[in-house]
Chains A and B, each alone.
Chain A
């Protein structure tokens, strides 16, 4: 799989900053956020539709609780919790856990990007705030390997429980021995060292099936059987 992947320097170029002269739609939200968290003002980004802030991973519970409970913000609905892998970049290896929130009072979505270190991906869990984050976090753990500290049920959800790799990472290469059980799609019989070919001796001496001489070039028309060779010689596996 490695040769299908292109080099991805794009991680550095993501996100176009716009100046903070936001249109009226998101204005109130931007103001409320900068009032509550002045230190986030420099990472704040917006278009008409979404307001985005970047926070360090350790602060996620604090920030989310504040945006949920603050009377000016009231973001009561956790729309989505997703993980993004920015690749095994040697300078800046990171994951991001991205939360999207909705509020009745503000017409824009709030996107909170929490940065997680890729070499030791740990971030506190938000299942205390929203019970429904459990499946989101299980999926992020299963697919990316991000460990949510404090989560009561952090086990794999899509892959089989003994799977040993994280599929959605950018450096994931499909391994044959990612799991032992058949549940992962890897059946012991697919390991060549377990094959017993002597069971499958097939005697084609009396077969009436036609066989074709192997040639380099295929013209697409019927080929004649070369004289002298028997059918059995052609059909035995080499």
Chain B
């Protein structure tokens, strides 16, 4: 048996695949999605059509029927610039986008259903990888909801530590948004500077929570660890460095003529439309609506802190960028106030390992870097929640894409998407 012997030569994998496909098709019929639907008028090519079945709804029919000169382009789940795995089907005429359909679900992990079988403390670890760039906020809302269900309040020091880590999270999340916005427009350097900032912040948060990304820091009734010496040392160093790294990224972007030309007046979202669409957070405030959960329905210790709700006028991509830069500065001032005012005391209330809250319902909201993040939890008296529902802001904000895109060029798709700052982990849960 030698390599040259034709019968025993190792066959080419692609021939094996083809043979397998033909055998399966002969035995069981063609796989759905690989044959053209007879009588359909979908986009040009023979076997690959978007989508592979007739439209089921009115909006789908409107989106997927093509006129003369239009083309469907898949900005597919594998793409250098969609913020995670998301598929955008663009209907383009030349370079102009006429319509857009986001197809979601590539990162769906069934977290809500999983949490129905997890104890309340375990739920706090399940929600970490949802919006993975704002992990602390993901944990804050469920922790608040479970505390309402259980009927306890976290100690003052725990609330201050929570606010501190949450604002730190906001700083690096907004910094990364700046970097990704520039990257999606071709400027490769601000992202590296934003990642320097993120690296330092993540080291800081690792000093307090033990993890670099999925922190698992919050508990029902407080936080897991107290502030330690390493954290305090790193915090003062971080505080003196953060201005430089964010400032470096900002210097390359904010006054850059090319960047301004590409983002000013692009993707303007009016306040009424934004409210109707459910857009929240920096996107909503950049359109001029002063809705910030920290001031609208204050939670934790935000009543004790001094800050104003920042808004911008304009509602275009540039305003959303400026809004986030301003919020970074606001968060830095909040961090200074929190560090100054932090009281002494315990950091976790005495709760049993598996809590069994009384039957009831609770709704808790936090202001995450993406926007309005809320949790609706129902307890049935058992060790696990009866229903655990998360309302993720990126998911709802994505509805603004088909509204903002038509009429712009493909290059603007990425700019608008980066300015809305969705994170697919949260979108798909």
A residues adjacent to B (C-beta < 8 A): 4, 6, 8, 10-11, 13-16, 49-50, 52, 76-80, 82, 84-85, 98, 100, 102, 104, 107, 109, 111, 130-136, 139, 143, 152-162, 167-168, 172, 180-183, 188, 194, 196
Contacts and interface: CB of A to CB of B under 8 A. Distances in A.
Given A98-B376, A162-B32, A196 B296 contact: no
Nearest to A78: B278
Contact of A157 (B58, B59, B105, B396): B105
Contacts of B276: 130-132
Contacts of A167: 110, 113
Nearest to B296: A102
Kindly state the interface size class of chain B when it binds its partner.
Answer: 35 or more
A107 B278 contact: no
Contacts of A182: 31
A231 B291 CA distance: 72
Interface stretch (B124-132, B187-195, B380-388, B411-419): B380-388
B399 A134 contact: yes
Given A82-B391, A139-B395, A153-B58, 10 more contacts: A49-B363, A79-B365, A84-B378, A107-B297, A134-B399, A143-B112, A152-B59, A161-B56, A162-B32, A181-B33
A10 B112 contact: no
B250 to A, nearest CB: 31
Contacts of A49: 148, 363
Nearest to B273: A131
A153 B372 contact: no
B399 A135 contact: yes
Closest 10 interchain pairs by CB? A132-B278, A10-B380, A153-B59, A158-B105, A158-B108, A132-B277, A80-B391, A82-B389, A131-B276, A152-B58
A169 B101 CA distance: 27
A76 B57 contact: no
Contact of A111 (B296, B359, B361, B381): B361
B363 A109 contact: yes
A160 B279 contact: no
B297 A131 contact: no
A180 B33 CA distance: 9
Given A80-B363, A84-B387, A109-B363, A157 B278 contact: no
29 contacts: A10-B386, A13-B380, A14-B386, A16-B359, A16-B360, A50-B363, A52-B361, A77-B275, A77-B291, A80-B374, A84-B387, A107-B297, A130-B278, A132-B279, A134-B399, A139-B395, A152-B58, A153-B59, A155-B57, A158-B428, A159-B105, A161-B56, A162-B53, A168-B113, A180-B31, A180-B32, A181-B32, A181-B33, A188-B31
B117 interface: yes
A131 B399 contact: yes
Contacts of B403: 131
A76 B277 CA distance: 12
A55 to B, nearest CB: 16
A154 B252 CA distance: 44
A159 B273 CA distance: 28
Interface stretch (B22-30, B35-43, B320-328): B22-30
Contacts of A196: 23
Contacts of B51: 161
Interface of B: 23-24, 27-28, 31-33, 51, 53, 56-60, 104-105, 108, 110, 112-113, 117, 148, 273, 275-279, 291, 296-297, 358-361, 363, 365, 372, 374, 376, 378, 380-382, 386-387, 389, 391, 395-396, 398-399, 403, 428-429
A102 B386 contact: no
Contacts of A98: 376
Contacts of B275: 76-77
Given A158-B104, A194-B27, A135 B398 contact: yes
Nearest to A1: B117
A132 B400 CA distance: 8
B55 to A, nearest CB: 9
Contacts of A152: 57-59
A130 B381 CA distance: 34
A4 B114 CA distance: 12
Nearest to A8: B380
Contacts of B296: 102, 104
B212 to A, nearest CB: 28
B27 to A, nearest CB: 7
B182 to A, nearest CB: 28
B205 to A, nearest CB: 28
Nearest to B63: A153
Nearest to B31: A188
B297 A109 contact: yes
B417 to A, nearest CB: 16
A132 B58 contact: no
A82 B377 CA distance: 11
A37 B140 CA distance: 35
B6 to A, nearest CB: 18
Nearest to A133: B278
A182 B21 CA distance: 14
A144 to B, nearest CB: 11
Contacts of A10: 359, 380-382, 386
A165 B412 CA distance: 38
A14 B361 contact: yes
Nearest to A129: B276
A134 B59 CA distance: 11
A139 B386 CA distance: 18
A205 to B, nearest CB: 12
Contact of A100 (B53, B110, B374): B374
B144 to A, nearest CB: 10
Contacts of B389: 80, 82, 84
A82 B376 contact: yes
B60 A155 contact: yes
A182 B27 CA distance: 18
B391 to A, nearest CB: 4
Contacts of B398: 135
A6 B117 CA distance: 10
